[in-house]
Structure formats: structure tokens, C-alpha cells
Amino acid sequence: MLIRCPWCGERDHAEYFYGGDATVKRPAENAGVQAWNDYVYLRDNPKGPHRELWQHQAGCREWLVVTRDTLTHDILGVEPVKGAAR
Amino acid sequence: MTRYSAFSLLRQTLRGHRGWDRAWRDPEPKRHYDVIIIGGGGHGLASAYYLAKLHGVRNVAVVEKGYLGSGNTGRNTTIVRSNYLIEPNAHFYEHSLKLWEGLSEDLNYNVMFSQRGVLNLAHSDGQMDAAARRGNAMRLNGIDAELLDREQVRVMVPHLDFSEHARFPIFGGLYQPRGGTARHDAVAWGFARGASALGVDIIQNCEVKGIKRQGNRVLGVETSRGFIGAGKIGMAVAGNSSHVAAMAGLKLPIESHVLQAFVTEGLKPWIDTVVTYGVGHFYISQSDKGGLVLGGDIDGYNSYAQKGNLALIEHCMAAGMQILPSLSRTRILRHWGGVMDMSMDGSPIIAKTPIDNFYINGGWCYGGFKATPGSGWVFAHTIAHDKPHPINAEFTLERFAEGRAIDEKGGGPTPNVH
Ligand SMILES: Cc1cc2nc3c(=O)[nH]c(=O)nc-3n(C[C@H](O)[C@H](O)[C@H](O)COP(=O)(O)OP(=O)(O)OC[C@H]3O[C@@H](n4cnc5c(N)ncnc54)[C@H](O)[C@@H]3O)c2cc1C
Ligand SMILES: [Zn+2]
């Protein structure tokens, strides 16, 4: 699996650290147990396109939002985390 | 159903093996069942078997999208053990191990359960302390455990790396003599045959595509072979748990990840127990055909692909070489992947759901094969009585929000590290 880092180019996924689902949003501190349970534990876990965080740990160390198909492992898009719609 | 015995084998041998019956019936789906189990892996089939056998619930269907055991049941490395540290896990897996011990006789089907032992290596004083702690906890829970020193491990598996060059020298290990391996697809077939004989309909090539809901109840499943009504529905679909639960409107504390495994060419008897490495994630045993069966970690990213990547293969082989240098001479014949239902605390969910008559069995991570009989046994109880058995009472969906996670490893809510 190759991920094209916007700064370093196409690199093996082993250079990256996987940060999981990029769509979960940290709730306000007083949002209540249910909102926090959703954030910490519940995941859509889709079969198909998944927006997820990867850090180019063995490269530029930037965090990226990668859209990847979990059924085929095709990479559908890579964006810097800053500015990416989340 | 013909009972399998030395006699039936002899009789069929004389007839050229042309008279064997089907092992299980292949019925058309009925319009309605008291219970539908989604998923024809070991867990779904065991659940149906125990529902019929122990709870008198016989109007049951197991609905499987492919063929029996086409999921993780037929893809796993078949290690069976109950060497758990914390309470609910220890009791549940030990209950399962006890069922394994009588399973071939109970099913009249040889699941080739072989109690060849499971040896977890330790490579430092700290790991020896942890092994002693785990072993003591196991023994207090009535589970067999033996702490071995370096010399005892050497006698048991002399070809491990005991040289001065070992990067992580072997200090000893924790051994569970009653652990071992079994024949994976025989487990699916044995439970299927047993369940079918008790009246359970096993329906293959029948994918559940939707779950019909009315208010807080489920009414049945939309499948590739039409709608089938149900009084109760239990799901046991392992790596597809999130996908199927979503059909009923539930979101789960689970991520799906790919786990790979490997088999080498056949060798003469070489390893007569199961060995796990204590530094890298690597384990190895030898099948009855002589192939070495080995594996390691999950790849680490969400996946439904049933295939993995090369980085993990290299990592796994490197870990293997660290404890078993002679492995370098063997050739890998086959490798494959399976989709793991990694839960947020590394423990399973076998429970009622917020929907009245819908039950979940999932979150098995990479250790659900050993759970097969125990999982079916408690899931059948949970469905039949609409209440968990004390053995699975803590494996709820609500435990996460309640702060009662069952986190054997202390890894926190990061499914890819359990
Ligand atoms: C490589 C590998 C090694 C492993 N090693 C071990 C080990 O050594 N020891 C151990 O204890 N565990 C091990 N495991 C884990 C173990 O295999 C699983 O936890 C266990 O098999 C899960 O049991 P199951 O019967 O529920 O799963 P499965 O056999 O996967 O059954 C689920 C079934 O549901 C079906 N299904 C899915 N969606 C639908 C649908 N929509 N409609 C109808 N049917 C559907 C699937 O086709 C599948 O047959 C390993 C797993 C893998 C992949
Ligand atoms: Zn980079």
C-alpha cells in the first residue's frame, strides 16, 4: 500500500503511523456521557471509503487525512490535516 | 443422520464409501423461524446447536452468505487456550476449554482437538514476573498453568534460540498444558451436522442485506433469497459485525482489521506444542499434515479486504527468526488474511442489545476460535432466556459507557493494539 504524501511523494505505508477514523469529533467537556461514549468508543467502521488519519512518521512527520477504500485498500485521496474537512 | 463409528466406517469401506449421507440437510428457507442466527461460522453454528440441544429451541435457521466456515473459522490458526488474567475472561475461556475437552464425543464428530500445550516465552526478569502473576491468577481461578525456567523450556523446544547471540534471550515461559489446537473447519462442520440433526435449518449462499425493524423490535431479515421472518435474531458475523449491526440501526465499539497467517511446506514432526514469542508478536505450531502454522500481529489499519500487506509479513518473519533461526530454511506455501472484529477493549460482546429481540455476538479480535463452543453456549442461553448467563453477564455493549471495559492488556480504546 503506497500513500502519496503531499510533501514527500509516494511512500510505503510502513513509513506512516495509523491514527484511525478521522471523522470522530471531540465533544465539549460537558457534553455528557453519551456524547463522550460516541467519541471514545463508537465507530462507523465502513466497508468502503473511510476517512482516516495517518502520520508520516518516518518522513516529514505531518498528519494527513487519507481517504481509503477498506474493501480494496485503494487510496482515493490524501490531504494535509490542516484545512481538511473533518 | 448416521452415527459415525468404527462400524459405520467399516461398512462404508466395504461399499466403496458410496453410501454416506449428507452431513447436514440443505433446506429451502421457511417463511418464519423462532430464531434466526446470522453468520454460519463456528460461533453461529454452535449457538444454533446449543439452542436446539440445551434449550429446546429447534425452529432455528442459520443464515450464511457464503459457505460454512468461509469467514474466520476457516482462516484461523486454531490455537485454543484459557490463559487469561482478568476475571470475566478467565471464567469464560475456561468454560469454553472445558467444552472443547468433550466436544468430539458430544458432536460425534472428530474436531481433532489436540491438547499439546501452549507456551508463552518470557525474555526478561520483568516478563518472568508478569508470567508468574498471570500463572498465579490462572491457578486461583482453577486453570492449569506452569511457570518454566530456561532449562525447562530448552527441554521442551530445544531448537529455539538458546545461543549467546539471541537478541532477546529466553528466560523461561508460562505453559498451559491443556491448551492446544483443533481442526478449524471440522468445528464448523461438526456443529452444523449436530444442529441440523436436531432440526436447525442451515441455509448457505444467503446473504443478509437488511434487517426489518418495527419500533423497538426486529421482524426478520431481507436476504438474497427473500425475506425470512424471525421471533428473535442473533448476529454472529465476526469481521462484519459493524456492517450487520448497522442494518438494525446500531453503531458498535468495533473496528474491522485484517490479520494474516501463513503455512509452510510439510516437515517431519518438529514442534509438538504451540510457542508464542514474548517480544515481537509471533506464534507457531505444527499441523497434523506437517506444515508450520504461524502468524503475528494485525496489519493495523481498518480493512475488510481479507488480504494484507508485505510490511507485516516481513515483521512477522523477522520476529520468527529471532526465536527460531532454523525457520529460515523453510518455505512458506500459503498465506491469507481474515477480517477481525477488533473491539475497543480487546474483549468480546455477547449480549442483549437496546433492541428487544436482537442479540449480538462479536468483537472477537484475533482470539475467537478458542471461544467457539463457549460463545455458542452462552449466546444460546442469552437468546433463549432473554438474559445473559452469569459467565457472559459482563460482556455487554454498555460496559464502555459505564466505565467497565474488560481490558486484558490495558491498551485503552485503541482497537489496533489489542
Ligand atoms: C489469520 C487468523 C488467525 C486467527 N488465529 C486464531 C487463533 O489461533 N486462535 C483463536 O482463538 N482465534 C483465532 N482467530 C480468530 C478467530 O478465527 C475468530 O475470532 C473466530 O473465528 C470468529 O468466529 P465466527 O465463527 O464468529 O467467525 P466467522 O467464521 O468469520 O463467521 C462469521 C460468518 O458470518 C458470515 N456473514 C457475514 N456477513 C453476513 C451477512 N450479511 N449475511 C450472512 N452471513 C454473513 C460470514 O460469511 C462468516 O461465515 C484468527 C483469525 C484469523 C483471521
Ligand atoms: Zn511526508
pLDDT, position B417: 83
> Full-prediction pTM beyond 0.90?
yes
* Cell numbers for B83: 490463559
Domain ranges in chain A?
2-25+34-83
- Mode of pairing for the β-strands spanning B32-38 and B226-235: parallel
User: Which ligand 1 atom is the nearest neighbour of the CA of B39?
Assistant: 34
C-alpha to C-alpha distances, B262 to A1, B203, B329, nearest whole angstrom: 20, 30, 15
Write the DSSP assignment of chain A as a string of letters. Answer: -EEEETTTEEEEGGGSEEEEES---PPPTTS-HHHHHHHHT-B---SSEEEEEEE-TTTT--EEEEEEETTT--EEEEEESTT---
Neighbours of B3 (CB within 10 A): 8
Give the model confidence (pLDDT) of B371-403 as tens digits: 999 999 999 999 999 999 999 999 999 999 999
CA-based nearest residue in chain A for residue B341 = A45
Instruction: Calculate how close chain B gets to A32, using CA atoms only, in Å.
Output: 11
| pLDDT > 90? residue B56 | yes
- Helix residue ranges per DSSP H, B4-124: 6-14, 42-55, 87-107
Contact of A42 with B253, CB cutoff 8 Å: yes
pLDDT, position B317: 96
The architecture in CATH of the region B114-181+255-343 reads: 2-Layer Sandwich (3.30)
Q: Which one, of A24, A13, A26, lies nearest residue A78 by Cα? A: A13
| pLDDT > 90? residue B134 | yes
Share of chain A above pLDDT 90, in %: 94
pLDDT, position A83: 85
Q: What are phi and psi of B37, to 5 degrees?
A: -105, 125
B30-79+184-253+345-411 has which CATH code? 3.50.50.60
Instruction: Calculate how close chain A gets to B396, using CA atoms only, in Å.
Output: 13
Q: What is the mean pLDDT of residues B312-323?
A: 95
Cβ <8 Å between A41 and B255: no
Report the C-alpha gap between A68 and A60 in whole angstroms: 21
B297 at the A interface (CB within 8 A)? Answer: no
pLDDT, position A36: 96
**Residue among A14, A45, A68 minimizing CB distance to B255:** A45
Share of chain A above pLDDT 70, in %: 100
pLDDT, position B387: 98
| pLDDT > 80? residue A85 | no
pLDDT, position B263: 98
Handedness of CA B78, B417, B135, B286 (dihedral sign): positive
B379-399 core/surface letters (b: 16 or more CB in 10 A; e: else): bbbbbbeeebbebbebbbbeb
Report the C-alpha gap between B251 and B50 in whole angstroms: 28
User: With a 6 A CB cut-off, is B379 part of the ligand 1 pocket?
Assistant: no
Outline where DSSP puts E strands in B180-253.
180-181, 201-203, 208-214, 217-223, 226-235
Q: Which one, of B299, B308, B306, B270, lies nearest residue B286 by Cα? A: B270
Q: Which one, of B323, B203, B194, B342, lies nearest residue B271 by Cα? A: B323
Handedness of CA B323, B325, B330, B334 (dihedral sign): positive
CATH homologous superfamily for the domain A2-25+34-83: Folate-binding superfamily (3.30.2270.10)
ipTM over 0.95: yes
pLDDT, position B67: 97
SS3 B148: strand
* Cell numbers for B324: 527460531
B:342-361 residues touching chain A, CB 8 A cutoff = 344
Outline where DSSP puts E strands in B178-321.
180-181, 201-203, 208-214, 217-223, 226-235, 254-266, 274-276, 283-286, 291-302
Give the model confidence (pLDDT) of B336-362 as tens digits: 999 999 999 999 999 999 999 999 999
A15 at the B interface (CB within 8 A)? Answer: no
A:32-51 residues touching chain B, CB 8 A cutoff = 33-34, 37-38, 40-47, 50
User: With a 6 A CB cut-off, is B376 part of the ligand 1 pocket?
Assistant: no
Contact of B211 with B248, CB cutoff 8 Å: yes
User: With a 6 A CB cut-off, is B240 part of the ligand 1 pocket?
Assistant: yes
- Sort out which chain A residues have CB atoms less than 8 A from B416's CB and list them: 18, 20
A32-48 core/surface letters (b: 16 or more CB in 10 A; e: else): eeeebbbebbbbbbbbe
CA-based nearest residue in chain A for residue B309 = A1
Cβ <8 Å between B305 and A42: no
* Ranges for all domains in chain B classified under CATH 3.30.9.10: 114-181+255-343
Report the C-alpha gap between B265 and B292 in whole angstroms: 7
Report the C-alpha gap between A67 and A59 in whole angstroms: 19
pLDDT, position A84: 85
The rounded mean pLDDT for chain B is 97
The DSSP output letter for B254 is E
Instruction: Calculate how close chain A gets to B303, using CA atoms only, in Å.
Output: 5
User: With a 6 A CB cut-off, is B73 part of the ligand 1 pocket?
Assistant: yes
Given strand B274-276, what is the order of strands in its sheet?
A: B146-149, B172-176, B118-122, B274-276, B283-286, B291-302, B254-266, B332-343
* Ranges for all domains in chain B classified under CATH 3.50.50.60: 30-79+184-253+345-411
Give the model confidence (pLDDT) of B182-228 as tens digits: 999 999 999 999 999 999 999 999 999 999 999 999 999 999 999 99
The DSSP output letter for B215 is T
Cβ <8 Å between B254 and A14: no
